[in-house]
Chain A
Amino acid sequence: MFLVLLIHAALALGVVAARSRLGRSSFAVGAFGPLSLLVWLITNGRSIADGIPHRETIGWVPSLDLVLDLRVDAYALVFLYVIAVAGICILLYAARYFGSDPKVGTFAGTMVLFGGAMVGLVAADHLLAMFLFWELTTITSYLLIGYSDQQESARSAALHAAMVTGGGGLALLAGMVMIGTESGTFTISEILANPPSGSAKMGIAWALVLIGAVTKSAQFPFHGWLPGAMAAPTPASAYLHSATMVKAGIFLVGRLAPAALMAATWWQPTVLSIGFVTMIIGGWQALRQNDLKLLLAYGTVSQLGFLFLLVGSGEAKLLYGGLALLVAHALFKATLFMVVGTIDHEAGTRDLRRLSGLRTSLPAVFWVAVLAAASMAALPLTFGFVAKEAAFDGLVKSGGGLVALASFASILTVVYTGRFLIGAFGRHHPGHEPATPLGPAPRNALVWAPIVLAAAAAVLGLVPGLVAPAIDAAVVASRATAKAGKLVLWPGLVPALGWSMVSLVIGSVLLWQNALVQRATDIVGSASRRLPSADGAFRRSVAGLLSFADRSSGLIQSGSLPRYIAIILLVAVFVPATALFRGGISGGSMPVGGLLEAILGLLIVGAAATLLFTTRRFAAVLLLGGVGYGVAGLFAVFGGPDLSLTQLLVETLVVALFALVLRYLPATFTPARFERTMRLVVAVAVAAFVFLGGLVAFSSRQAAPVSDRYVELSVPEAQGANVVNVILVDFRGFDTLGEITVLAIATLGVSGLVLPIVRSRRESP
């Protein structure tokens, strides 16, 4: 299995590397990826279906418990078969669909990588490894959808898909981490064998996982991205919609539902409600589309809703029909997408109002479409019918009127399937310019790839026993229930048959009275346009986010340097201040201070306060000097004569320097005009923080000062009585070396800045 993943990765890279030489044959080369998967499935599938899961473990960072655990059981087998078969057909189809353009090779590589990620997602037995593959499908699908990067619509559709599924992925990751830490293992098979029990925390975790699956599988209210993803070239749409991407969410809920049911009582009703709402909304929207591809896309949304509730409910009898329907859906939906692609390729449009006369000009395509559409509408003798019977049978046994809801949604399915066929192959609508194929009908993969899939579906429809054992094994692997349902050509006179016949008949009548349906959808459609739609909500939230970002960055990054400094200072004050106040402030035994300190303090504060108001530069410099002298006095009070002397000396030098520079500057400051309040607030905040912080910090000393050793060793080790001097030149001599270096650099800077001025003054006095 690991080898299969490696083959996908290597093919993807190889195809991209050789894209200019391969051109559109890249797809044919890439098809070896799913082919290798198919070979693997055929060689290993029998023992897996017999109930012996295939396991592989590849150490990645074993010390961190990061191992790539692969485990393929019968449940995963169903998904893998679908991925392999659909993948081969679609890639070969794509090799004839595209023109010869090196860029196509990159697309082929992305598609192979996407397929490989899907395989990894299904085969991974470690939650985090599964998540990695999950995100890989998100990223590659973004690239696939946004392939036509010259088109604004393709770019925004890709972004929409990436943001919805990526956001859901984040929720999924959080849920997975919570589940993994709660159960003490990230190995999926162990979690399923020993699921964590219910608690408020686990409830949140499972809700997060559900959000991940709902976004990925385009369930209500996140279904908006899937129709948008139609911007992708048709082969990619076919792959994304039939076998992969959207099936990932179905796979996930089906895989984890047994554990989720143990912890969350709301799981089943929630999954059922989401599924039914999605089913009906998707079917309804499909009735209103004129673009064949969009019609199919909304049909996918509807079908996904059905699959989601069947597979995600965790009931063995529903899971059985769900898996059968999943296989059926992959076969007919991939076929129909390829049919649409061929029509688009030949006629140059997908607008069902314009297409005309395709039945005679593309006869093979027409019959393939009829075959697949019959399966989609679940006409008897098709595999779609067999699968839907199994699903309805499970719903009837679950009771609660579920089957009635599903039957209602099936009416919509019948009607939009009819619209698809009539629209694609019937006459153009009055008032629309007809579009018919120009050249002769193609005789390559554009035609035979859908034929292969449609034929496979037809065979399964007539001999459902071919696939029934695999489905049964999958249900056993997931829910340990054998014979949860049955796949038969003719179910006999059971309630399920009645329900599906009712939806078929009503659907056909509605299709016959098409004008009535159109009027109804128009009326409801114009009314529902005022309701908030998923797509509109997404666009508004993105626009809101951008305008919020614009406004906040405009506020913070205003270009005003004083404001930047103010923001930095406020953050620097408030972050530690919150910690300070959480700990509580106590001054401890801080002495007030002596008379000498008070006098010096008054002097300093007086000078500093005057500095605030003076507008004459020279006065300001003298006041700064005054503050410096006062501080020197305070140093002396605290027992630092060296400090005091240095400070006096340096302060004098600073005043002299200022005096040299001030000769050139105007005598007074321009009075500060703006932002006085802001300055005042920041200044007070900084001062208060320094005072309170000092109060706490100085009264919480616990260890003995390190300098005790300096005092002790000063005379015996360094032969010096002045400890401060000894520290500077001996104990911490390298610090002083650093200080000298700083001074040297500052000197270079000053001379570089000032000497040219001096020179120019000398030349032109």
Chain B
Amino acid sequence: MSLISLAVAAILFGVGTYLILQRALSRIIIGLGLVSHGANLLIVLGGGFGGVPPILSDGVDPAAVADPLPQAMVLTAIVITFGVTALLLALALRSYLLTGTDEVEDDPEDRRVAREVHPVVEPDPDEDMHEVVA
């Protein structure tokens, strides 16, 4: 770990977030890719100060190798990110071919709910004084 790499990871998160918050689907996918890179970097940084590659051939001091566990986890993460990216790209493509646009639209139902306002009911002072007896 080091300040420079930490800053790089943080910037990747920031730029990625900025892109994810847009409406063009392909930009969102690119933003997600950046955030994934940042996350992978963070995990590796969590392993400590680095070191020689964790390959125990002759003459390698086991105490000097880099932490292998974060590396194994990130390896898995890279591959899974690839799968997710491929799926998202397929979705974006399908969505573009069906709707003719690459943009995420507002949810119409949520829009309707947001516009709805409860009516304030004023009681009727001249209500009938006879109750309804079933």
Contact = CB atoms under 8 A, between A and B. Distances in A.
On whether the two chains bind one another, the answer is: yes
A682 interface: yes
Contacts of B134: 98-99, 101, 103-104
A interface, how many residues as a size bin? 35 or more
B contacts with A: majority SS? helix
Nearest to A729: B72
A654 B133 contact: no
B23 to A, nearest CB: 6
Interface string B78-115: 11111111110111111011000011101111110111
B56 to A, nearest CB: 5
Interface in A82-109: 97-99, 101, 103-104
A724 B71 contact: yes
A654 B54 contact: no
Contacts of A558: 106, 110-111, 114
Contact of B131 (A344, A547, A565, A628): A344
B37 A682 contact: no
Contacts of A554: 113-115
A359 B32 CA distance: 85
Contacts of B30: 611, 620-621, 624
B48 to A, nearest CB: 7
Interface string A346-387: 001111000000000000000000000000000000000000
B22 A679 contact: yes
B94 A753 contact: yes
Contact of A153 (B81, B87, B109, B123): B123
Interface in B108-134: 108-111, 113-118, 120-121, 123-124, 127, 129-134
B62 A712 contact: yes
Contact of B3 (A590, A647, A757): A590
A526 interface: no
B93 A710 contact: no
B67 A707 contact: yes
Interface stretch (A188-196, A418-426, A631-639): A631-639
B14 A707 contact: no
Contacts, number: 343
B131 A234 contact: yes
Contacts of A559: 106-111, 113-114
A661 B87 CA distance: 12
A721 B69 CA distance: 14
A679 B37 contact: no
Contacts of B123: 153, 156, 539
A747 B87 CA distance: 8
B interface, how many residues as a size bin? 35 or more
A606 B49 CA distance: 25
Contact of A611 (B34, B47, B90): B34
Most buried by B among A565, A724, A728, A750: A724
A590 B6 contact: yes
B108 A658 contact: no
Interface string A694-709: 1101100100011100
A591 B3 contact: yes
A717 to B, nearest CB: 12
A643 B75 contact: yes
A520 interface: no
A591 B27 contact: no
B17 A148 contact: no
Nearest to A621: B30
B121 A345 contact: no
Interface stretch (A45-53, A263-271, A316-324, A738-746): A738-746
Nearest to B24: A669
A675 B6 CA distance: 28
A750 B86 contact: yes
Contact of B68 (A560, A569, A723, A736): A723
Given A657-B85, A698-B46, A687 B26 contact: no
B12 A604 contact: yes
A638 B76 contact: no
Contacts of A593: 2-5
Interface of A: 97-99, 101, 103-104, 148, 150-153, 156, 231, 233-234, 290-291, 293, 344-345, 348-351, 539, 543, 546-547, 549-550, 553-555, 557-562, 565-566, 569, 587, 590-594, 597-598, 600-601, 604-605, 608-609, 611-612, 617, 620-621, 624, 627-628, 631, 634-635, 637-643, 646-647, 650, 653-654, 657-658, 661-662, 664-666, 669-670, 672, 675, 678-680, 682-684, 686-688, 690-691, 694-695, 697-698, 701, 705-707, 710-712, 714-715, 721-724, 727-728, 732, 735-736, 739, 742-743, 745-747, 749-750, 753-754, 757
